[in-house]
Amino acid sequence: MKLLQHSLVARIVASLLAISALALISIVVTMTLAGGNRGDAAAINLAGSLRMNTYQVVAALQRHEQQPGEASRERVATLGERLGERLSDPELTAALPEATDHPLQRQHRRILARWETTLAPRLDAALAGNDTAGTPLEAELDALVGEIDGLVTLLEENSESKIRLLGALQLILLALTAVVLSIALYDIRHNLVVPLRQLVVLAREAARRNFGYRTRLTGNDELALLGRTFDTMAEELASSYAELEERVSRKQAELERSNRAMQVMHDGSRALYGGGNDLCASAAPMLRRLEQLLEIGPIRLSLNDPLDDRQIPILATHSARRPDYCRDHDCHACLIDPHPLRLQETEQGECVLLPVSVGELMLGTLEVWYPRGRPLSNSVRRLLNALADQLATAVYLQRRIEEQQQVSLMNERTIIARELHDSLAQSLSYLKMQVARLERMQAKGLPPETQASVCAELRTGLDSAYRQLRELLTTFRLRLEGPGLATALRQTVQEFSERLGSEIALAVDLPPHLLNPNEEIHVLQVVREALANVHKHAQAHWAAVSVRFAQARLRVTIEDDGIGLEDDSSPPMHYGLVIMRDRADTLGGHLTLGNRAQGGTRVELVFTPQTARLIQTHVGGDVEAPDAPATATIATDRQGKRDHAG
């Protein structure tokens, strides 16, 4: 019973079983009653034939009485025997009820007894002619027909009663089936159809994101439990959806804030990387805007001193006073806030320290304060890490620029010292030796004619030293004002074209950013020295400069149509050629010179730029040596002599 109360499936199964049981009972009853009526029709027919048989006996007896004979007597006897046999026929007795007090049993026994005890003996006596009864035999037989009619009537009533019983049982079973079906349909409608409709409505409303609908089902069956579960689920979904919407709103606001913070950092990167070494003026506005967006602060930046193990405060937002390390008292980047923010670690705020580092190089720390009770989210922490990396990159680039400037300054000083040593210092040493020689001659009292050669050499040496000084001044004042070597070469060619009085051809084929500044200076000085020799000694009417890069080598060629060299060999190693060869050795290349087949001289410098060497080293290749030594054709040396020119 409890199962039927708590289970809709059990009730539906029970209803189906009940309907099936009633149908099975109806079938069994129908088959049973039909089996009981199986011999009734034959019995009724047999009982009806008894009346015909009785009439045949009466008719045969009357004919025998009218025309006695053996044939008529045998016929009457035969019909009598048949009547007796039919009264005891199994088809008739099988249709009779088994109860001995049943009217059919009594009527059958009465007819059978009357035939066997009265009518059959009298029929035999009548055939023998000894019937002495007062009542005629025909009248007795007619009375037997009445008894047989009663038996037939009882048989028909018995069969009809069975049929009526079958109909009544069918009606009862049909009524029970209808009752069970009505109960099942009522249960299905109220406990299945209606709850399912409400569950469908709940599902449809939930699909429309309306979680306020409730089924409110009562009961203990499966759908009621499912409805209460769906109600709870809808309530939880409403709560979860509201929470998710709130979280999405928070995430969206956080993303918008992060996007604005990234935009601030992007805009601030231009000031950081383009603001020179003024880190306060370039970083302080960005840090203040980040504080407003991320609701944090103050922010303090400290850098490690590379000379000793201590941190130097560099920048602090919301600073109440100017830092002690401040070098520019005209800067107010730390003092523009009229209400400095003060947070005590133990009372109002918490602090997070972020490393300011590039790789394994620790540059300093970034100290970020935030209100207590509002921890930093992951996105804010990622933004602060990106800020620390951005500041580290700016500080690192700033230091690298300063170091590069120092290295460039030292390299320039080294170049100046080398130029002075290779040219002016050697000339002065030569003059010093000539002065000492002249002093010895004067001490010995040699005649003036002998001393005149030494004085001439002193005069020549002074002229050469003065010329070298002018060349050095020109070299030190030379600047690469354009975006590369090509601009400086055009300026140089234009300058010497004006000196020669004729146009100098220039062909430059260089990829961008191929040469470093040091290589550009050396190449430019080689070109200038060669063009100076062409101007002073070649007596040329045409000159050309070609600078081309091919097969990882830079080839610099200076040609003229002047008087050329006495032979195709190199002239003696004088100062101009020594300096040019020294520059070629510094570049890691070769400088050679010779005569042109068309007349004139040819200077050629071939070397592999540093960029190409680095690329080939990186890919594992070897820089090949030039196929032929570089050729440089030069007409004069720094002494102004033309030893091998024709």
DSSP symbols for 196-239:
HHHHHHHHHHHHTT-TT------SSSHHHHHHHHHHHHHHHHHH
Q: What is the pLDDT of residue 607?
A: 94
CB atoms within 10 A of CB 156: 15
Gap between the Cα atoms of 579 and 525, Å rounded: 10
Provide, rounded to the nearest whole percent, the portion of the chain with pLDDT above 90: 5
Q: How many helices (H) and strands (E) does the chain have?
A: 18, 9
Q: What is the pLDDT of residues 36-47, one digit of tens each?
A: 666 677 777 877
Rounded to an integer, the average pLDDT of 8-14 is: 82
481-646, CATH topology level = Heat Shock Protein 90 (3.30.565)
3-state SS class at 620: coil
Peptide bond into 572 cis (omega under 30): no
Interval 620-637 mean pLDDT? 37
Task: Give the whole-angstrom CA distance, residue 168 versus residue 185.
Answer: 25
Residue pair 223/195 in contact (Cβ under 8 Å)? The answer is: yes
Say if residue 14's pLDDT is above 80: yes
Side-chain-side CA neighbours of 220 within 13 Å: the count stands at 9
Q: Is the separation of the CB atoms in 154 and 103 below 8 Å? A: yes
Q: Per-residue b/e over 335-354, b at no fewer than 16 CB within 10 Å?
A: beeeeeeebeeeeebbeeeb
pLDDT at 217 over 50: yes
Instruction: Name which residue leads in pLDDT, 60 or 383.
Output: 383
Query: Is the predicted pLDDT of residue 35 greater than 90, yes or no?
Result: no
Pull the structure tokens for residue 450.
Answer: 């002998």
For residue 641, the model assigns a pLDDT of 33
Site of tokens 């928070």: 250
* Confidence bin at 85 (pLDDT 50/70/90): confident
Mean pLDDT of 169-184: 89
How far is 599 from 597, CA to CA, in rounded Å? 5
Which of left, alpha, beta for 282 (phi over 0: left; psi -120 to 50: alpha)?
alpha
How high is the pLDDT of residue 573? Answer: 47
| pLDDT tens readout for residues 418-461 | 667 766 777 788 788 888 888 888 888 888 888 888 888 888 87
DSSP 8-state code for residue 133: -
The pLDDT tens digits of the residues spanning 283-312 come to 888 888 888 888 887 888 888 876 666 777
Whole-number Å distance between alpha carbons of 324 and 326: 6
- Of 60-64, 468-472, 519-523, give the lowest mean pLDDT range: 468-472
DSSP 8-state code for residue 584: H
Residue 512 tokens, joined: 């961008």
Q: At what angle do helices 448-477 and 426-444 cross, to 10 degrees?
A: 160
Q: Regarding predicted confidence, which is higher, 476 or 180?
A: 180
Same fold, 255-400 and 481-646: no
Q: Which of 19-33, 99-113, 161-175 has the lowest mean pLDDT?
A: 99-113
* pLDDT of 28 over the 80 cut: yes
User: Could you say which of 1.20.120.960, 1.10.3720.10, 2.60.34.10, 3.40.920.10 is the CATH number of the domain covering 10-181?
Assistant: 1.20.120.960
Mean pLDDT of the chain: 78
In this predicted structure, what is the pLDDT of residue 646? 27
Q: For strand 553-560 and strand 361-371, is the pairing parallel, antiparallel, or unpaired?
A: unpaired
Start-end of H helices in 275-377: 279-294
The Cα–Cα gap between 115 and 140 comes to 10
pLDDT at 624: 41
Tokens of 105: 């049993």
Of these ranges, 523-527, 554-558, 639-643, the one predicted with the greatest mean pLDDT is 554-558
Q: Which of 79-83, 213-217, 316-320, 342-346 has the lowest mean pLDDT?
A: 342-346
Would the pLDDT of 620 be above 60?
no
- pLDDT digits 0-9 by tens, 190-212: 888 888 888 888 888 888 888 88
Residue 605 has pLDDT above 90, yes or no: yes
Assigned token pair, 214: 């409730």
Distance CA 283, CA 294 (A): 16
Per the CB < 8 A criterion, the answer to whether 363 and 356 are in contact is yes
Q: What is the pLDDT of residues 320-344, one digit of tens each?
A: 556 555 555 556 556 555 454 454 4
Most confidently modeled range among 90-104, 455-469, 538-552: 538-552
- Give the model's pLDDT for residue 629: 35
Q: Residue 625's pLDDT is what?
A: 40
Long-range contacts of 9-12 (CB under 8 A, 24+ apart): 9/222, 11/184, 11/187, 11/191, 11/221, 12/184, 12/187, 12/188, 12/192
- Tokens for 591, please give them: 């400088």
Interatomic CA distance for residues 390 and 383, integer angstroms: 10
pTM score over 0.75: no
Domain boundaries defined on the chain: 10-181, 255-400, 481-646
How sure is the predictor about 642, in pLDDT bands with cuts at 50, 70 and 90? very low
- What's residue 555's pLDDT? 94
Q: pLDDT at position 554, please?
A: 92
Q: Does the pLDDT value for residue 643 go beyond 50?
A: no
CA angle 544/545/549 to nearest 5° reads 140
Residue 1 confidence class, pLDDT cut points 50, 70, 90: low
Confidence check: pLDDT of 632 > 50: no
Q: Residue range 626-646: average pLDDT?
A: 33
Average pLDDT over residues 586-597: 88
Q: How confident is the model at residue 228 (pLDDT cuts 50, 70, 90)?
A: confident
User: Hey, what are 64's tokens?
Assistant: 């025998």
**Those residues with Cβ within 8 angstroms of residue 383's Cβ, 6 or more apart along the chain or in another chain:** 258, 261, 262, 265, 290, 294
- Region of poorest pLDDT, from 117-126, 354-363, 542-551: 117-126
- How does pLDDT run across 449-500, given as a tens digit for each residue? 888 888 888 888 788 777 777 766 766 665 555 556 888 888 888 888 988 8
What is the CB-side half-sphere exposure of residue 103 using CA atoms within 13 A? 10
3-state secondary structure of 587: coil
Determine the pLDDT at residue 507. Answer: 93
pLDDT of 593 above 60? yes
CB atoms within 10 A of CB 557: 21
Contact (Cβ atoms closer than 8 angstroms) between residue 453 and residue 441: no
- Say yes or no to pLDDT of 163 above 90: no
Q: Answer for the pair 535, 499: CB distance below 8 angstroms, yes or no.
A: yes
**CATH fold group of domain 255-400:** Beta-Lactamase (3.30.450)
pLDDT at 72 over 60: yes
Task: Give 571's pLDDT tier (boundaries 50, 70, 90).
Answer: low
